């Protein structure tokens, strides 16, 4: 009975504290406990928040955990859906409010343009950005999805979309969710193949961005990785 009285009104107090002071003064288990209120209405969610953090190691790891692992620890589909919505909505929110999500793209800030698009992604995906001659966006979307460590690059699709949208400049970007933001040999080879294929069509690949957590690499801005692709005598930067 004492324990029941202790928790009486706890949810309301926690909600009121959040609405008054925000999330900054909450520790991770309190923040997760508050979130779980909205999937588990009739149970104390404090023990579950501790259990999830102990199991996965951090708040972000809970949100990024595969559905199969979340089921394994006993969560319902309703609770899992709520947890998986957090990184997805974070990505949508950042993409929507970003200053770089505008029609005219600043080429020097392509890393910042793409960064929000990879928030919370645990598998590799590749984005294709198409620009007209004035660097205005005519298309941006995912053209390939892969596993946690590989993405098949559909070169023919890149060429097809470039013609379909009458693009002059092309940018590709993909993530390394389980690695570091450095290009593999396959990344460099594929980039060169795309560059050369587009050049034959009088179109130009202007960058390939690789994203990993809080780090990004621009191959076009790298004199190490971009050499032989963007900086060779043959590829002098002219269309």
Q: Same domain, yes or no, for 118 and 42?
A: no
Q: Same domain, yes or no, for 122 and 154?
A: yes
Q: d(Cα 176, Cα 214) in Å, to the nearest integer?
A: 11
Residue 108 DSSP one-character state: G
pLDDT-based confidence at residue 238 (cuts at 50, 70, 90) = very low
Reference 33, options 20, 21, 13; nearest CA is 13
Residue 22 DSSP one-character state: -
Q: Same domain, yes or no, for 111 and 88?
A: no
Q: Same domain, yes or no, for 84 and 108?
A: no
Domain boundary among 95, 124, 142: 95
Residue 83 DSSP one-character state: H
Q: Same domain, yes or no, for 37 and 81?
A: yes
CA distances from 162 to 125, 174, 205 (A): 19, 18, 10
Q: Same domain, yes or no, for 207 and 152?
A: yes
Residue-number span of the structural domain to which 11 is assigned: 2-95
- Six-digit token pair at 40? 């588990």
Domain boundary among 95, 129, 147: 95
- Each residue of 146-167: pLDDT tens digit? 876 666 788 999 999 999 999 9
Q: Same domain, yes or no, for 138 and 160?
A: yes
- Each residue of 221-236: pLDDT tens digit? 988 888 878 865 455 4
pLDDT-based confidence at residue 107 (cuts at 50, 70, 90) = confident
138, part of any domain: yes
Domain boundary among 71, 95, 119: 95
238, part of any domain: no
231, part of any domain: no
53 phi and psi angles, rounded to 5 deg: -70, -35
Q: Same domain, yes or no, for 145 and 79?
A: no
Q: Same domain, yes or no, for 117 and 212?
A: yes
Record the pTM.
0.68
Q: Same domain, yes or no, for 88 and 139?
A: no
- How many domains is the chain built from? 2
């Amino acid at each position: 009975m004492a324990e029941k009285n202790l928790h009486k009104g706890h949810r309301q107090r926690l909600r009121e504290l959040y609405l008054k002071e925000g999330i900054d003064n909450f520790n991770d288990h309190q923040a997760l406990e508050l979130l779980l209120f909205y999937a588990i209405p009739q149970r104390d969610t404090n023990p579950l928040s501790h259990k999830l953090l102990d199991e996965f190691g951090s708040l972000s790891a809970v949100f990024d955990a595969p559905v199969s692992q979340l089921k394994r620890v006993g969560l319902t589909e309703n609770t899992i859906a709520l947890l998986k919505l957090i990184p997805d909505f974070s990505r949508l929110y950042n993409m929507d409010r970003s200053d770089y999500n505008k029609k005219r793209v600043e080429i020097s800030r392509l890393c910042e343009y793409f960064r929000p698009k990879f928030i919370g992604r645990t598998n590799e995906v590749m984005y294709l950005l198409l620009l007209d001659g004035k660097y205005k966006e005519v298309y941006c979307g995912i053209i390939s999805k892969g596993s946690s460590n590989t993405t098949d690059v559909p070169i023919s699709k890149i060429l097809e979309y470039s013609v379909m949208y009458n693009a002059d400049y092309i940018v590709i970007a993909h993530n390394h969710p389980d690695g570091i933001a450095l290009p593999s040999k396959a990344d460099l080879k594929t980039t060169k193949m795309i560059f050369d294929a587009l050049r034959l069509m009088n179109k130009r690949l202007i960058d390939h961005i690789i994203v990993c957590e809080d780090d990004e690499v621009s191959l076009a801005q790298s004199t190490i990785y971009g050499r032989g692709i963007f900086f060779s005598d043959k590829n002098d930067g002219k269309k």
